[in-house]
Amino acid sequence: MFGMMMDYPLTVTAIMRHAQKVHWNREIASVTVDNPGQHYSYGVAFRRVNQLGNALRELGVKKGDRIGTLAWNDHRHFELYFAVASMGAVCQTINPKLFPEQLVYIINHAEDQWLFVDPLLVPLVEKLQPQLQKVKGYIVLTDQAHMPDNTLNKPYCYETLLAEESIHCRWPELDESDAAGLCYTSGTTGDPKGVLYSHRSMVLHSMMAALPDVMGIGSHTVLMPMVPMFHVNAWGSIHAAAMTGAKLVLPGPKMLDGETLTRLINHHKVSYSLGVPTIWNALIDYLQNSGERIVSLKSVVVGGAACSETLMTALESYGVTVHPGWGMTETSPLGVYNSPMPGSEVLEPEQRRKQQLKAGRAIFGVELKIEDSAGNELPWDGVSAGELKVRGPWVASSYFRMEGLDDHFENGWFDTGDVATIDKHGYLSITDRSKDMIKSGGEWISSIDLENSALGHEAVAEAAAIGIHHPRWGERPLLVVVLKAGVKANGKDVLDYLRDKVASWQLPDACEIVEELPHTATGKVSKKTLRQQFAGYQLPG
């Protein structure tokens, strides 16, 4: 016997209609090149989305077409999120920080029909244009007064396109399984891989993200996503904000500028934000050097890389509660989130801190398991480390147009490539990426543990540990660090600091001080590049 409920499709269009009718007077503030103080209501935003939908139809956009965006966090990118998906097309957000050859690969592999481009990124696209095989034309995200001179083929001005269209749009009826968004991985181990999100997966992910024990986003929230909108749909925060009526503050291109972030937080009374450690470090550096304060910001998500105790303590000193989280492009991205468990307030301070630094517990809809190399499931005891596998309604089942990589998806589970432990309460701890673990004398050493320990040193700004060939032990760890500005220290100082922080056999054999570490386009340290830089390195002794 089946239930007798309506078969109502879960679509991005449904989020839009709800926000338009229920949250029409809530505000979206935005920073753009042509207007650093732009703001309007959800009601006005979605009237413009209607105009954009009509413009897309005039351009010949059809269901299933991929539409690329090279843009920052601003109101026009917000409009694209909803108009493209509601048209039945696929919004492909592209990371402009990728290498040019990766950008060309992604745009051609996706077969993007049109590219929407921020004016600051027009020079980049002009260089790529001769290699882009399927792109029919380019829409520059600005008004006519700020339209840059360019050599693009078929360039359009975004605001001019919208001005010619009606504020009413007949949106097509869509199946909730239709594709809505496309994001590519950063390609650290080969070509970037495309992950194709459905309307259903986006809606369910947004609903779960907004839950009180997860992000807790609601109409009371003033949300400023400092994770880029081209990075896994801003971790689902944009759709969750529209769904719940949160005020949105979109900070534009200067998300690594601590002064700009501080000004926006204080002006708009931002209460909640999301970002990678690099962004939070930039904010903390500015606050410490300027003496300014942030009062309204109460909670932040730290994701994309592990949150160090040093960073957590620094943010807490400004009254900010830190929530680590874990996810991937393949998980939309939210998989686990660290909210305090009932009873955690009575834990000893050291125990509570260890729990706070873990990645978190699975949110409803995501299942986790860890397996040994033989495929045996391991217990949730907080000690047994194994390969992390996940499944759920917003977890990828395959890669877009890359059938040869199906070995990542076996028996309904996605193999994340992470090594992890899970404790009896369900708290996940990422030990390392499997490819970054250092195997020394038959024992595994976690590069993440070494890095987090090194970040506790007062002089260390960034740290990365890699394995270096050793004739006896197979591999030994090399620690590579960047010092804080104006602070002096040497490798011996850092190693001496670590002696009572890690086991003696885990202590790096050497520590090198460098000006900067190589990073991927998503802000993570590129261990692949670092290993290339130190190929042939001779360890002491």
Active site residues: 185, 330, 439, 444
Q: Among residues 289, 302, 187, 169, which one has the least CA distance to residue 235?
A: 302
> Could you give the CA distance from residue 49 to residue 497 in angstroms, rounded to a whole number?
55
User: Rounded to the nearest 5°, which phi and psi values hold at 333?
Assistant: -110, -5
Integer Cα distance of 327 and 387 in angstroms: 15
Residue 194: partners with Cβ closer than 8 Å, 6 or more residues away: 106, 109, 110, 182, 183, 184, 399, 400, 401, 402
Rounded to 10 degrees, the C-alpha dihedral 235/240/242/248 comes to -60
- Phi first, then psi: what are they for 196, rounded to 5°? -105, 110
Q: Is 534 helix (H, G, I), strand (E, B) or coil?
A: coil
DSSP annotation of 519 reads B
Half-sphere exposure of 264 (CA within 13 A, CB side): 30
Query: ω into residue 333 within 30 of 0, thus cis?
Result: yes
CB atoms within 10 A of CB 492: 10
**Which pair of structure tokens corresponds to residue 162?**
């919208």
Strand (E) or helix (H) holding 385? none
Distance of alpha carbon 156 from alpha carbon 138, whole angstroms:
6
Expressed in percent and rounded to 5, the helix, strand and coil fractions of the chain are 35, 25, 40
